[in-house]
């Protein structure tokens, strides 16, 4: 019914890069069940995120590499309808399997993601607004959405520093990493009239900016683990991210000598390393601090 290119543009494997926020929310969840874990994960990673990817691809109509697709095929109207279908499936499943609040949060996420790329609003054209929108909704908002889905809680359960602080840390981390995902798209973004933050900062400026925000984020995570758990978790967090830091610095040195190195392949490697290290750390942290037998 839908073309192969439409399915490719959903970029379902790209959800791996967004998993750390979900697993972090799971780490502090006191009321998870096997059913809610399964359904919240499937709804968010296999339907909500792909719907956003597909909708964004349809209106961007990229001809060069995008996140998760080195050679994106031409888009067609089928992609538009497929992305909307995935949105509807996510919301309906969220309502049937979790709660009304969870379904409403899924709806809000979908609407904001559409505002980011739809030509009538296109927040992507505005460097600061676009950056803040992505950082806030893929970080803070998504953390709360995952927390609601995993625990089946109401809004009042979110008004707690033990929830709001890790949600805020998720946003700070995303605010630091998101501009790096735009660094190889300067030419195509400029041709479309999109003034992304990375384009505004330039290649060198993007690296320096990301390094600065990432440093603040790392300090914030260490403080969080020290304040609410034990310092050892903060130390392990820093150790877990060492491969990412080393890759980033080596890549930065190469880019300073040859800006062409700020390309799709290196960006995807950085994304993969970041997701792998963060997912691994949060899974370990979850095992250390949760009653895993709740699942069984």
pLDDT at 296: 45
Which residues in the chain belong to E strands, given as ranges? Answer: none
pLDDT at 204: 94
Between residues 284 and 8, the one the model is more confident about: 284
- What is the rounded average pLDDT for all residues in the chain? 91
Nearest Cα residue to 132 out of 77, 102, 176, 92: 176
**8-53: per-residue pLDDT in tens?**
889 999 899 999 999 999 999 999 999 999 999 999 999 999 999 9
69 in helix, strand or coil? strand
Q: Provide the token pair at 15.
A: 């959800």
Rounded-to-integer distance, Cα 104 and Cα 216, Å: 32
How many domains does the chain divide into? 1
- DSSP assignment string, 92-145: HHHHHHT-HHHHHHHHHHHHHHHHHH-TTT-GGGSHHHHHHHHHIIIIIIHHHH
CA distances from 27 to 22, 62, 81, 147, 226 (A): 9, 37, 35, 10, 15
Examine the pLDDT at 242 and tell me if it is beyond 80.
yes
Could you tell me the CATH number of the domain that includes residue 253?
1.10.600
Residue 99 per-residue DSSP state: -
Which residue range(s) make up the domain with 43? 4-295
Rounded-to-integer distance, Cα 79 and Cα 46, Å: 16
Residue 296 per-residue DSSP state: -
pLDDT at 190: 75
**132-144: per-residue pLDDT in tens?**
999 999 999 999 9
pLDDT at 3: 79
* Distance from the Cα of residue 258 to its chain's centroid: 29
Examine the pLDDT at 233 and tell me if it is beyond 80.
yes
Q: What is the pLDDT averaged over residues 155-178?
A: 95
**222-232: per-residue pLDDT in tens?**
999 999 999 99
Q: Provide the token pair at 122.
A: 């296109």
Number of Cβ within 10 Å of residue 57's Cβ equals 27
Examine the pLDDT at 124 and tell me if it is beyond 60.
yes
Nearest Cα residue to 124 out of 198, 176, 194: 194
pLDDT at 187: 80
């Amino acid at each position: 019914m839908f073309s192969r290119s439409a399915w490719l543009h959903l970029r379902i494997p790209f959800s791996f890069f967004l998993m750390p926020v979900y697993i972090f929310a799971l780490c502090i969840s006191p009321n998870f069940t096997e059913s809610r874990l399964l359904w919240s994960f499937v709804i968010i990673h296999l339907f909500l995120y792909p719907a956003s990817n597909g909708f964004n691809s349809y209106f961007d109509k990229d001809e060069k590499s995008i996140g998760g697709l080195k050679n994106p095929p031409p888009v067609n109207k089928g992609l538009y309808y497929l992305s909307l279908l995935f949105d509807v499936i996510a919301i309906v499943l969220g309502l049937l399997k979790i709660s009304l609040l969870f379904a409403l949060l899924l709806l809000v996420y979908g609407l904001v993601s559409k505002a980011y790329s739809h030509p009538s609003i296109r927040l992507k054209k505005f460097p600061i607004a676009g950056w803040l929108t992505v950082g806030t909704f893929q970080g803070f908002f998504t953390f709360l959405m995952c927390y609601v889905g995993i625990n089946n809680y109401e809004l009042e359960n979110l008004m707690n520093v033990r929830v709001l602080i890790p949600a805020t840390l998720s946003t700070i981390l995303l605010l630091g990493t998101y501009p790096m995902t735009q660094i190889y798209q300067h030419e195509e973004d400029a041709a479309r009239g999109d003034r992304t933050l990375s384009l505004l900062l330039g290649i060198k400026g993007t690296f320096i900016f990301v390094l600065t925000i990432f440093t603040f984020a790392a300090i914030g995570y260490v403080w969080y683990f020290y304040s609410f758990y034990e310092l050892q978790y903060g130390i392990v967090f820093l150790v877990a991210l060492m491969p990412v830091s080393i890759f980033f610095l080596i890549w930065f040195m190469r880019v300073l000598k040859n800006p062409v190195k700020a390309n799709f392949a290196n960006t995807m490697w950085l994304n993969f390393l970041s997701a792998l290290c963060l997912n691994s750390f949060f899974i370990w942290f979850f095992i250390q601090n949760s009653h895993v037998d709740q699942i069984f």
